[in-house]
Amino acid sequence: MIRSLLNSPVGSRKPTFLLAAACLLLVCGSAFSQTAQVRRGAPAGPATTPEDGSPAFHEYRGVQLGMISDEVRKKLGDPKDKGEEQDFWVFEEETAQIVYDKTHKVITISADFTNTNKAITAKQVFGSDLEAKADGSIYKMVRYPKAGYWLSYNRTGGNSPLITITLQKLP
């Protein structure tokens, strides 16, 4: 990813960097969030459990984990920033980053939505609504070992929230 940032034109670095930073925050914050939910005795939120191995959300715009990069580009069109390891798309009020492994198969799908009215909802992701914190933020991550990936939903607080949905293949 860093190589892609360094080789890209200056104008396209900022969205890619912001998306990468958001993904890093999601990964780093997941352990704390899951621990905090267990300590508070929060009930399980998704309609399906990780043991079921059948999450409600498993694709983004027809793109699934394990697809080949050529198939992804046929589904989503030409990316704004194209690379061997990742592609970046910009849609109206929405961006998507798809990360590939060395065999060009999708290992991460991350989508950001700036318009909450057009964003994928927590209910669509997990099968049930999630309770927002006082500032309006929402965060949940669930590992689905049988399905082979983890799934997260993150909504920032404030008047102009950013919603990020990420699917990532488990190692």
Using DSSP, state whether 7 is helix, strand or coil.
Answer: helix
Q: Indicate the pLDDT class of residue 49, thresholds 50, 70 and 90.
A: low
**Where in the chain are the domains?**
2-169
Mean pLDDT across the chain:
79
102 exposure class (CB count in 10 Å sphere: 0-12, 13-18, 19+): exposed
Question: What is the percent of the chain where pLDDT is above 70?
Answer: 68
90-120 pLDDT, tens digit each = 999 999 999 999 999 999 999 999 999 999 9
Closest of 122, 100, 119 to residue 4, by C-alpha:
100
Beta bridge partners of 40: none
117-157 pLDDT, tens digit each = 999 999 999 999 999 999 999 999 999 999 999 999 999 99
* Mean pLDDT of the 51-70 span: 87
Determine the pLDDT at residue 153.
97
The type of residue at 48 is T
3-state helix, strand, coil in the chain (%, to 5): 30, 25, 45
Residue 66's CB is within 10 A of a number of other CB atoms, namely 12
* Single pTM value for the model: 0.71
Contacts of 19 (CB under 8 A, 6+ apart): 88, 95, 97, 110, 112
Determine the pLDDT at residue 42.
35
Say how many Å lie between the first and final Cα of the chain, rounded. Answer: 18
Using DSSP, state whether 2 is helix, strand or coil.
Answer: helix
74-94 pLDDT, tens digit each = 999 999 999 999 999 999 999
